[in-house]
Amino acid sequence: MRKRSLITAAAALTTLGGATFAYASLIERNMFTLRRFDVPLLEPDAEPLRILHLSDLHMMPEQRRKQDWVAALIGADPDLVVVTGDNMASPYAVPGVLRALEPLLDLPGAFVFGSNDYTGPVWKNPLQYLLPDREYVQGVELPSEDLRAAFVDAGWADLNNARTIVKAGGRSIELAGVDDPHVERDDYAAVAGPISPGADLHLGVTHTPASWVLDAMAGDGFALLLAGHTHGGQVCVPGYGALTTNCDLPQAMAKGLHRWPGSDAWLHVSAGLGTHPTAPIRFACRPEASLLTLIPR
C-alpha cells in the first residue's frame, strides 16, 4: 500500500512538473505585457512625458509574434524610446529586431548594448545563474555594428560609454550611458560629471544594473536610471519573487520601479521581452515592456 502511494505521488509530481514546464515554455513566455508606471520627478505644472523602455528582446529570426507585438507599441504614443540591450539571440536576428522596432525608429530614441548584442548565447545549465561568481562564456559573434548603424542612422543616440542631449516631448533630455558592465565593457569615468543645469531631465542608462554604475550615475544627479538584464528573475516563486538577478542588484529590485538606495534617483529595471534561447521559459514573470509616464513631483 505504501509503495503504491509513493508511486502515485511520484506520478502526480511528474505530471505537475510537466504541466508547469509546458505552461512556462509555451504560454507565459509569449504573454507579452505592457507595464505602466508613473514617476514623480518633473517640476510642478510640467506636462507629463512618456518613455517607452524596452529591453532583452533576445530576438530570433522566426519570432514574428514578438516582433508584431513590439511594433504595435507605437500605439502607446511614447515621446522617447530607450532600449537597454540584449536585442539579439542569433547572427541572423538584425532584420527581426528592425522589423519589431521600425515604427518606433521615427521617434526620438537612445540605446545601450548588452553582452548578447556582441556574442550569441551558448547552452548552459540554468542552475548556474544561481552562482554569484559564474564564468561568462561567449558564443558566436553577432552583427552588433550592423544593428548599431541601423539605430544611429534612424537618429537614435548611441549611449555606449557616451553622453548627449536629445529633444523629446518638447523637453531637453540629458542622457548618459555605459556599455555592458556584465562583461566589463563599461567606462562611466569617460562620461562622468555633474548633470547639465541647462537640461530639463536627466537619465542614466545601462544594460546591467550594476551597483557601481548606478551609484555613480545617481551621485552625478541623474534622476531616473534605466536598466534591463535581470529578466525579472525569469523563473520566480509566487509570493517570493526572483531567485536571482544575475548581478549584484538585490533580488527585491529584480524588476519594476524603485528608489535607488542612498539617493533621490528612481531606478526602473525592465523584466524584458525575451529569454535565453536554450532556456525558453518564464514562470510568474511575464515578458514585458514598460511605459514610464513622468509626472510632477
CATH number for position 233 = 3.60.21.10
Range of the domain at 265: 31-296
In a domain, 17, yes or no: no
Average pLDDT, the chain: 90
In a domain, 38, yes or no: yes
What is the domain count for the chain? Answer: 1
Residue 139 has what pLDDT? Answer: 80
Determine contact, residues 223/201, Cβ cutoff 8 Å.
yes
The C-alpha atoms of residue 179 and residue 263 are separated, in whole angstroms, by 23
Residue 159 has what pLDDT? Answer: 98
Residue 217 has what pLDDT? Answer: 98
In a domain, 15, yes or no: no
In a domain, 148, yes or no: yes
The C-alpha atoms of residue 142 and residue 148 are separated, in whole angstroms, by 11
The C-alpha atoms of residue 278 and residue 11 are separated, in whole angstroms, by 27
What's CA 131's distance to the chain center, in Å? 21
The C-alpha atoms of residue 51 and residue 15 are separated, in whole angstroms, by 43
The sign of the dihedral angle between the CA atoms of 187, 188, 192, 195 is positive
Residue 132 has what pLDDT? Answer: 59
**Half-sphere exposure of residue 121, counting CA atoms within 13 Å on the CB side?**
22
Q: How many CB atoms lie within 10 A of CB 241?
A: 16
In a domain, 219, yes or no: yes
In a domain, 96, yes or no: yes
C-alpha cell at 236: 520566480
C-alpha cell at 195: 548633470
Below-50 pLDDT ranges, the chain: 5-18
In a domain, 20, yes or no: no
Determine contact, residues 82/49, Cβ cutoff 8 Å.
no
Determine contact, residues 207/229, Cβ cutoff 8 Å.
yes
Residue 11 has what pLDDT? Answer: 40
Determine contact, residues 225/190, Cβ cutoff 8 Å.
no
Residue 268 has what pLDDT? Answer: 98
In a domain, 2, yes or no: no
Determine contact, residues 63/96, Cβ cutoff 8 Å.
yes
Helix (H) or strand (E) holding 8: helix 2-22
